[in-house]
Chains A and B, each alone.
Chain A
Amino acid sequence: MNDIQNAVILSTLLILLLIAGVVITIFIANRRHVQQQISIAQMQVDYEKELRTVEQEVQEQVLLNVSRELHDNIGQLLTVMHMQMEQEKLQTPRVVNPMSGTLQDTIQQVRMLGRSLNNEWLEQNGLNGMIQNEVNRLEHLGMLTIHWQFDGVEPVLEKDQRVMAFRIFQEIINNALKHAGAANIYIDMKGKDKFALSIKDDGKGFDPDITFAMGKGSGLRNMMKRAALAHIAYKMTAAPGKGCTFTLELH
């Protein structure tokens, strides 16, 4: 009788040990699998980050080249043209005068555009100076009214953050001009306590969910990724008929 009892107990224990073995093996396999997945995900994040950085560097280099070209080549040519016109003005002032005024405006616009593309200017004038330059340029275009508010303190940002914030700002303004059909843009920047930049338009707005679901809005996604890369909190609020509001803040 005892033999049978012992046999049953022993075989139960043996099965228990086998089960424990199987379960432990599965646990170890899972641990390895999860760790592998984590490292793959980390590698993907790093790769994406590296890609964005390189992309940004290339873009900045291209913009710098365009800016130099505008300043050194086109700007010079326009200045020479302006000087020639000034000479012509003495002979035919009625014809040349309005043309000369337009050319002067063009030279001014090209200069401002060149500055807005050049991040060396950003270093010299700060984010405030660059946004002010951009506001002047947009006001000169006369396509919409800009309401620009600034608390007077240049925000404390690292170089990359400043460049990224300004490029995102430019992209938002560009979107408002191209797609929103806005009449007013409200720009508010604070630098006193913590950097905060808000850009609001009164355009036609859109539904972000529908836009992203349709596979559109790559520019918006790009801005989001760039802001994340520079450790800047990016928030977008938009609704059809209610315009868009973008907020950039330091984390």
Chain B
Amino acid sequence: MLSLILGKSLALGIGAYCYKYLSQAYKLIMLQVAIALLAECYGRYLGLKGQHNAWVFNLQNLADLLLTGWAAKLLTGKPINKVIPFLLLLFTGLWAVNIYVDGFYQLAAWFFVSSCILLVLLYIAVLFNKSLFSNKRILEEPATWLAISVILYFGCSVPYFGLYHYLISNFSVTARNLWAINMWLDVLRCPLIAVCFLTAAKQQKQLRTA
């Protein structure tokens, strides 16, 4: 948990350092990291006090989808970026339905799994877009690092959160053990985001100098 908070703080610190060079897409990602950090801290605090904390993560997951999804819209080209706002609207509806069915104090796992799949597909599109339509080497593109972080975390979260309610109700110890995979992927995601911010700032500096 501490490594997750440290990881997110590192990404956020580097984002703040490079802030003036970041484009709107990366500023959205920075906001998403800040929200995630707050949610992790507050959720953990509520958990320690023995209170419901799933509602915090429900809100965080929605913010994750909207901010990361909108960043994908800004990073990819036509026609995908035209469809993204409608998809985000549709998935917000799905979130509302999931909350309505399971309640606000239960983690909206089905919404989260479907949003993970959506984000993975969107960021694969971003990667394809950058690899086929940009003349730069793909590792010099900040979007590449962001896409890898998103695909890695959200892609690998699908099996665990797909079985989340089943595991929590029947095998709570196993659920807690498996949650570690998810947490470490989240930790791994943070340096990738930090590299993304640094690459974006470097690219912007080069552009301004040119």
Chain A residues near B (Cβ < 8 Å) = 1, 4-5, 7-9, 11-12, 15-16, 18-19, 22-23, 26-27, 29-31, 33-34, 37
B159 near A11 with CB under 8 A, answer yes
Q: Which of B151, B163, B171 has the most CB of A within 10 A?
A: B151
Chain B residues near A12: list those with CB within 8 A: 156, 159-160, 181
B128 near A19 with CB under 8 A, answer no
The smallest beta-carbon distance between B112 and chain A, in angstroms, is 15
B138 near A30 with CB under 8 A, answer yes
- B155 in the interface, Cβ–Cβ < 8 Å? yes
Chain A residues near B203: list those with CB within 8 A: none
Query: If A4-B163, A15-B155 touch, does A27 touch B171 (CB 8 Å cutoff)?
Result: no
Interface size on B, residues (CB 8 A): 26
Contact with A along B68-92 (1 / 0, CB 8 A): 0000000000000000000000000
Stretch with Cβ within 8 A of A (4 or more), from B18-26, B97-105, B129-137: B129-137
Chain A residues near B163: list those with CB within 8 A: 4, 8
The smallest beta-carbon distance between B206 and chain A, in angstroms, is 17
A1 near B171 with CB under 8 A, answer yes
Chain A residues near B131: list those with CB within 8 A: 26-27, 29-30, 33
A151 CA to B156 CA, complexed, in Å? 75
Chain B residues near A27: list those with CB within 8 A: 131, 138
Chain B residues near A (Cβ < 8 Å) = 124, 127-128, 130-132, 134-138, 148, 151-152, 155-156, 158-160, 163, 167, 171, 174, 177-178, 181
Chain A residues near B158: list those with CB within 8 A: 11, 15
- Starting from the known contacts A23-B127, A29-B128, 16 additional A-B residue pairs (CB-CB under 8 Å) come to A4-B167, A5-B174, A8-B163, A8-B181, A9-B178, A11-B159, A15-B156, A16-B152, A16-B155, A19-B151, A19-B156, A26-B138, A29-B131, A30-B138, A31-B138, A37-B135
- Picked from A4, A16, A29, A37, the residue with its CB within 8 Å of the CB of B174 is A4
Instruction: Find the A residue at minimum CB distance from B167.
Output: A4
CB-based closest 3 A-B pairs: A30-B131, A11-B159, A30-B138
Chain A residues near B135: list those with CB within 8 A: 33-34, 37
Instruction: Find the A residue at minimum CB distance from B182.
Output: A12
Instruction: Find the B residue at minimum CB distance from A41.
Output: B135
Chain B residues near A22: list those with CB within 8 A: 124, 127, 151
The smallest beta-carbon distance between B88 and chain A, in angstroms, is 23
The smallest beta-carbon distance between B75 and chain A, in angstroms, is 14
A50 CA to B181 CA, complexed, in Å? 60
Chain B residues near A16: list those with CB within 8 A: 152, 155-156
- What are 24 A-B contacts with C-beta separation under 8 Å? A4-B163, A5-B171, A5-B178, A7-B159, A8-B159, A8-B167, A8-B181, A9-B178, A9-B181, A11-B158, A11-B159, A12-B156, A12-B160, A16-B156, A18-B155, A19-B152, A19-B155, A23-B127, A23-B151, A26-B127, A29-B132, A34-B135, A34-B136, A34-B137
A30 CA to B135 CA, complexed, in Å? 9
Instruction: Find the B residue at minimum CB distance from A18.
Output: B155
Chain A residues near B160: list those with CB within 8 A: 8, 12
Chain A residues near B138: list those with CB within 8 A: 26-27, 30-31
Chain A residues near B136: list those with CB within 8 A: 34
A19 CA to B123 CA, complexed, in Å? 11
A166 CA to B159 CA, complexed, in Å? 74
